[in-house]
Structure 1
């Protein structure tokens, strides 16, 4: 029987993934204010020392968690050029993904909502939201250049409205999942933006 030993890099990546999963679980169960390095280590089956070793501080852990929870929420967009099609696929995929919100995605939405009142989260999520809006602005601007989006549309306004709508739908889905029919809603919202933006 042959066993393969994991490299130090693989062990480090596995430990960091387990710690981030544990942090997400704690956020969902108890909120960000109850999150400590010691509790994360305990939840993941490690010592507090390993959490400090990997992240250094609670703030650094929160920053990594914010990035990890948002990464890959809508797969398959990286290969698409900016434009109306990419924007509509993002909207459709985002709402579709809310139909089965995993622990990491739930943690992201809860952290995002708490960022309004938690000073340690506000800068992290301002940066994450600006990156999201920047992508959306690029899609709208490219759509205008391509002739697919009306030239009188303001890309920044659309970006703010789309982020607010998607995150708001996500929070409603967390609060009352039976009320938000994502399978139907994804088509309704995507069609709304298609009609609102497309050149007549």
Structure 2
């Protein structure tokens, strides 16, 4: 009888994922790969290994590396919009970006991924149109919520200014890991939004 140490151990079977679950798992894996190693580390094999999936599954879902990058960027932005409360829809300044610091603490990779792509677009201008299009989602969501907060509405320059403040706070929290600083700065921003609303109501 062969020694048990010589008997090859069978690999545990991979968990079979349905279409939607598999695609989302691969997108989350792509985000983590880029966040930790930059875009140069994004390969089908790296994503498959990170997701615990077969290499062919990445090819099946996305077809090309560029398609994977575009889908991962769209996924990261929509996830951020959903979890950061940039557009809670209430028009109450107290609710504006109420989940921002918690979002960064819970999933820093999804934010780091976006910064990696922004910087990469300086070296690869072909990325810029899709990044600009998808970032417009952030600007539009911010603009809509600011319009709800203030009766005199909001324009794109103001939305860009406010969003730039939010994005800077996210970047600082990623680097310094000080969510309490983020929260304090956000409360100052909300105070300014309350003043803006009061001025609009007083006209």
TM-score (norm 2): 0.73
> Do the aligned partners of 2:139 and 2:163 also contact (CA within 8 Å) in 1?
yes
Give the structure 1 partner of residue 189 of structure 2. Answer: 189
Matching of residue 94 in structure 1 with residue 100 in structure 2: yes
Q: Higher Cα Rg: structure 1 or 2?
A: 2
Aligned residues: CA RMSD:
3.1
1:19/1:99 Cα in 2 relative to 1: closer, same or farther (>3 Å)? closer
Give the structure 2 partner of residue 168 of structure 1. Answer: 168
Name the one with the larger helix percent.
2
1:120/1:44 Cα in 2 relative to 1: closer, same or farther (>3 Å)? farther
Structure with more relative contact order (C-alpha pairs < 8 Å, separation 6 or more): 1
Gaps of 5+ in 1: 1-7
Give runs of aligned pairs for residues 1-200 of structure 1, distance below 5 A.
11-73=18-80, 74-75=82-83, 81=89, 84-85=91-92, 89-143=95-149, 148-149=150-151, 151=152, 155-178=155-178, 181-199=181-199, 200=202
Query: Which of structure 1's runs of 4+ aligned residues deviate more than 6 A?
Result: none
Distance 1:181 1:99 in 2: 13
> Per-residue deviation at 1:36?
1.6
Gaps of 5+ in 2: 1-15
TM-score (norm 1): 0.74
